[in-house]
């Protein structure tokens, strides 16, 4: 077992817990919560755009070189990965809604579903994405480029703090529910710490798994691309749900919504620019 790969994966992935600090905000209002959720949606939207550009460039290069067999294999496998991810998450959302049928109660604070369900979907989606990040770390270790593996771990660790913010921001609805006259019937803050531990593990531990797998076997570009496609699908699914909730909390105010989305984009760009300035790859 490659303990170096596991260690780097854990270091890169478990920083999602640092992003949970957003839950320390007190006196949260419905509008402020909506803006924070839209900011999280902007962060995730930038991440989706970044991954999508990488995925689109490769088949375009294959087409330019006339590599039509490779193009067809790539197109079919990534398309199947995308639809499987979206449909799988949709079935999971349907199942979770039947297990937690109090969505009408949460609608009073602008949530389209139970915030625990939304945070779980976000954690699963970002866990798939972080599996791909772990594969990148493992690939660097497999070719004995430990310097690159370390830099990737640092970059992903910083990046995952923002993902932790995105995962936990829907849970601000739990605190807002406390201010309702009968809010105690629709939340359970006593289990908050346990659930946060679970959410962080779902999102962060796949980084270590990905690093371990590809540090032990030769890297395969198609496997990496399929993983990246699944990550893109899971992120856009999460963005869709996050932004619907944000719009509800902002009562459909387009100005506040898009300013918040832009703020999320700006934060993501600033983080990546800072990492690039330090020559840390992500």
Q: Over 80: is that where the pLDDT of 39 sits?
A: yes
* Confidence band for 115, pLDDT divided at 50, 70 and 90: confident
Look at residue 252 in the predicted model and tell me its pLDDT.
81
Q: Over 70: is that where the pLDDT of 16 sits?
A: yes
* Confidence band for 227, pLDDT divided at 50, 70 and 90: confident
* Confidence band for 266, pLDDT divided at 50, 70 and 90: very high
Q: Over 80: is that where the pLDDT of 202 sits?
A: yes
pTM of the entire structure? 0.81
38: number of Cβ within 10 Å? 28
- Measured CA to CA, the distance from residue 153 to residue 128 in angstroms comes to 17
- Measured CA to CA, the distance from residue 193 to residue 20 in angstroms comes to 10
Instruction: Name the CA dihedral angle for 132, 138, 140, 143, rounded to a multiple of 10 degrees.
Output: -140
144-171 in b/e form (b: 16+ CB < 10 A) is eeeebbbbbbbbbbbbbbbbbbbbbbbb
| Range 166-177 average pLDDT | 80
* Confidence band for 228, pLDDT divided at 50, 70 and 90: confident
| Distant-in-sequence, close-in-space partners of 49: CB < 8 Å, separation ≥ 6 | none
Q: Pick the residue with more confidence: 237 or 114? A: 237
Look at residue 177 in the predicted model and tell me its pLDDT.
64
Nearest in space to 263 (alpha carbons), one of 12, 110, 34: 34
CA distance readout (Å), 67 to 55, 72, 207, 219, 229: 16, 9, 32, 21, 20
């Amino acid at each position: 077992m490659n303990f170096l790969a596991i260690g780097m994966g854990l270091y890169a992935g478990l920083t999602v817990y640092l992003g949970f600090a957003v839950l320390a905000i007190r006196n949260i209002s419905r509008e402020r919560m909506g803006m924070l959720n839209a900011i999280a949606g902007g962060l995730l939207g930038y991440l989706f755009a970044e991954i999508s550009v990488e995925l689109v460039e490769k088949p375009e290069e294959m087409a330019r070189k006339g590599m039509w067999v490779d193009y067809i294999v790539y197109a079919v496998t990534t398309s199947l990965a995308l639809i499987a991810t979206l449909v799988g998450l949709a079935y999971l959302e349907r199942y979770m809604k039947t297990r937690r049928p109090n969505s009408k109660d949460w609608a009073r604070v602008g949530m389209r579903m139970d915030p625990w369900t939304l945070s779980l979907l976000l954690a699963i989606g970002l866990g798939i994405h972080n599996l791909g990040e772990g594969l990148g770390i493992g690939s660097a270790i497999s070719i004995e480029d430990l310097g690159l593996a370390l830099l990737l771990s640092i970059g992903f660790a910083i990046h995952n703090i923002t993902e932790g913010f995105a995962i936990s921001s829907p849970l601000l609805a739990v605190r807002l529910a406390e201010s309702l006259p009968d809010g105690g019937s629709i939340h359970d803050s006593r289990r908050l710490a346990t659930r946060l531990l679970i959410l962080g593990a779902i999102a962060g531990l796949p980084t270590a798994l990905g690093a371990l797998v590809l540090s032990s076997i030769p890297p395969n570009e198609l496997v990496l691309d399929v993983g990246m496609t699944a990550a893109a699908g899971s992120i856009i699914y999460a963005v869709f749900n996050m932004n619907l909730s944000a719009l509800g909390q902002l009562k459909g105010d387009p100005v506040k919504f898009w300013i918040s989305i832009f703020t999320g984009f700006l934060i993501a760009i600033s983080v990546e620019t800072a990492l690039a300035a330090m020559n840390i790859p992500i």
